[in-house]
Amino acid sequence: MIANSRITTHFDYILIALILPIIFMSSFLLSETSQTLLTRQLSYVFLSIFIFLFVFFIPLRYLTKSITIFYGICILLLVAVEFIGTTKLGAQRWINIGGFSLQPSEPVKIALVLFLARHISNNPPPKDGYGWLEFGKISFFILLPFLLILKEPDLGSAIIVLAMGYGMLFVIGVNKKIWITCLVGALLFSPIAFKFVLKPYQVDRIMKLVTGDTSSQVQQSLIAIGSGGFKGKSKEDATQSNLKFLPVATSDFIFAHFVERFGFVGAILLIALYIGIVMHLLSFCFLDSQDYFLKVIASSLAMLFFVYASVNIAMTMELAPVVGIPLPLFSYGGSSFMTFIVLIAMFESALTFRFSFSTFNEGTSPFSLKRLPRIRRH
């Protein structure tokens, strides 16, 4: 009883309330497009409930070796893609295990968040932020999966890992001189990366964006968004989606499909939900200045929602290059959806169980809880 009351008290219901409308609107849009896709997506939603509950009750704060092993396995899977990976849509990003296809770039995001949460909670930053030594250590753990994913090639997922890791570090605290140095270095290195690191098709997408030579995909997306008007169109009149002019209308360009149906009003509502999620998650970074485990998970999840949503929406409106980044919890697909559900469960667990289970004694409830000891700053 005590445990139940503590869980219901500290569980974050606001985040769930912000997420559910996104899932409901996505399901409604899929129901108009394809009953087969709707059935599959609902199966992901149903499965995610059990995955959420399983992850929620894992004592994440007390896992040490397991987190390191999980991170190591994910890195090995990324390396294995180079040798035994299968190619789809021109990119070698998947590994077939029996009849199951795994994209290692998804679980590595979970592993990275957990690994950094444990590392930073054990090595909190000083008052003026991390110095070069600790910044270099953390950067290694971020850049390793980033480079392996970039090599597949998967520029979208690689950018997400990079933005999530360093966005989280910005929130946690790094000496401002380091950020200035990194910014100058990035500006100087960008021409080299553009010439020697990016693949020809990636360079082509960037050049089309700069020159205004819009691809047919983006042209159809802009038509769909513009035709939605203020309140949107009926299902029958949404010709861009119904007549298959809009490419990948259920995943990469689902935002354009949504705006065609629900117009400017619907677009503002959906964007407001994502902004609300990001701001709400970031607010937990100030809940307890000493709880770096919660800080890392909350800020990383906020960065993921921000990058996924902003890049996906921007590319549908010709404001960013076209990359395979889905709209979080909205686009059709299981991999990204499950990744977000696991991360949300990790956040809820870290928040709810800021209290540790006390040792069971006779006559004492095994669910009695006590506050975790604070970690002193170095």
Query: What pTM was estimated for this model as a whole?
Result: 0.89
pLDDT for position 222: 92
The pLDDT assigned to 322 comes to 82
**pLDDT at 7 (0 to 100):** 75
Residue 327 · residue 336 · CB < 8 Å: no
Evaluate whether 106 touches 336 at the Cβ level (below 8 Å).
yes
Beta bridge partners of 86: 94
Strand, coil or helix: 93: strand
In whole angstroms, give the CA distance from residue 192 to residue 137: 24
Going by their DSSP bridges, the two strands 369-371 and 355-357 should be labelled as: antiparallel
Give Dmax over CA atoms of the chain in angstroms: 74
Please give the span between the terminal C-alpha atoms of the chain, in angstroms, as a whole number. Answer: 38
* Rounded (5°) CA angle 164-165-167: 65
Cβ contacts of 63 within 8 Å, gap of 6 or more: 114, 118
Residue 81 token pair: 């893609």
Q: In this structure, what is the dihedral angle of CA atoms 72, 74, 75, 78, given to the nearest 10 degrees?
A: 160
| Residues pairing with 26 in the sheet | none
At 362 the pLDDT is: 35
Structural domain boundaries in the chain: 21-353
For each of the chain's 378 residues, which pLDDT tens digit applies?
555 666 777 899 999 999 999 999 999 999 988 899 999 999 999 999 999 999 999 999 988 899 999 999 999 999 998 888 777 656 678 887 766 678 899 999 999 999 999 999 999 999 899 999 999 999 999 999 999 998 887 888 999 999 999 999 999 999 999 999 999 998 888 888 777 777 777 777 777 777 777 778 888 999 999 999 999 998 888 888 877 788 888 889 999 999 999 999 999 999 999 999 999 999 999 888 889 999 999 999 999 999 999 999 999 998 888 887 899 999 998 889 999 999 999 999 999 988 654 333 333 333 344 444 444 444
Place of tokens 């921007």: 314
pLDDT of the residue at 111: 96
Give the pLDDT score at 98. Answer: 66
Q: In this structure, which amino acid lies at residue 112?
A: L
C-alpha to C-alpha distance for 350 and 116, rounded to whole angstroms: 14
Q: What is residue 197's predicted lDDT score, i.e. its pLDDT? A: 72
